[in-house]
Homo-oligomer: A and B are copies of this chain.
Amino acid sequence: MATSGRYCICEHCDFRDVVFANLSEDDIQELCNHKEEHSYRKGEIIIHQGEKISYFKYLKSGLVKVYRKTSDDDEQIITITKPFEFVSSMAIFEAEKYNFSVSALEDTVVCVVNLDYIKSLLINNGRFAIGLLTKIAGINDKIIRQCLDIRQRNLTGRVAYVLLYFAKEIYSSHLFDLPVSRKEIADYIGMSTANVIRTLSDFRNDGIIKVFGKTIEITDIGRLELLSSRG
């Protein structure tokens, strides 16, 4: 990994409102002592599937893909997620080892806190526990919803769904650079690469999107939404 540091600015971190709202100033200071920040360049692997879980990790900035190896050694993308949505998922309190990998789609900073320290916080601070439970609940519900949403749709609907996901959830813009290859989109929606490419071409030919390499501009979001809900 590129850099790592220990200087603490957690008091002013946006993340504080997300799950650390119920911690006192002292707790936050203490948290800082148990925390490190790691920076990853685009493409670097943050978590390796099978690795032992001993830290609570969350995304401070950047963008990552969460994926797993399938039996036939292919990659299946579980979700693509942005800051303040946990990386650690919930497996941390259940499993011994990660059953997924995480890699950086853009330059990314990850906060790493000793897991035992988080556990001691949970034991001593019920409100913090509820906050964390709630947050993790939301994240997992979202992953499940996404997975079901995708499964429900056909090829066209799936590609439309993913484009809308990037436009709305990730970039909040109709114009964005795809952070993934066509093959990765295919791994995400469970379709072949060729058909993903073909579908994007269809959308382009139909005047729904403009494509300049990795750059996508959605020009007819109404029709894209229709395709996403229909298919």
Binding site for B on A (CB under 8 A): 68, 70-71, 76, 78, 89-95, 99, 119, 122-127, 129-130, 132-134, 136-138, 140-141, 143-145, 147-148, 150-152, 190, 229
B76, A148: Cβ atoms closer than 8 Å: yes
Residue pair A130, B122 in contact (C-beta under 8 Å): yes
Give chain B nearest CB distance to A114 CB in angstroms.
15
Write out the residue numbers on chain B whose beta carbons fall within 8 Å of the beta carbon of A140.
90, 137, 140-141, 144
Asked if residues B130 and A93 are in contact (CB atoms below 8 Å), the reply is yes
Given contacts A126-B123, A126-B129, A141 and B94 within 8 Å (CB-CB): yes
**Stoichiometry (number of copies):** 2
Main secondary structure of the interface of A (DSSP, over half): helix
Knowing A119-B130, A124-B126, A132-B133, say if A141 contacts B91 (CB, 8 Å): yes
Whole-angstrom distance between the Cβ of A15 and the nearest chain B Cβ: 18
Question: Are A137 and B68 interface neighbours, CB within 8 A?
Answer: no
Task: Please give me the 6 A-B residue pairs with the lowest Cβ-Cβ distance, nearest first.
Answer: A123-B126, A90-B137, A129-B129, A93-B134, A147-B147, A140-B140
Q: Which of A92, A144, A151, A152 has the most CB of B within 10 A?
A: A144
Q: In the complex, what distance in Å separates the CA atom of A136 from the CA atom of B127?
A: 17
Residues on B with beta carbons closer than 8 Å to the beta carbon of A132: 133
Collect the chain B residues with CB atoms within 8 Å of residue A93's CB: 130, 133-134, 137
A229 touches B71 (CB 8 A): yes
Min distance, Cβ A219 to any Cβ of chain B, angstroms? 24
Residue of B nearest to A150 (CB): B151
Known: A129-B122, A138-B94. A76 touches B144 (CB 8 A): no
Q: Are A152 and B70 in contact (CB under 8 A)?
A: yes
Complex Cα distance, B141 from A95, in Å, reads 10
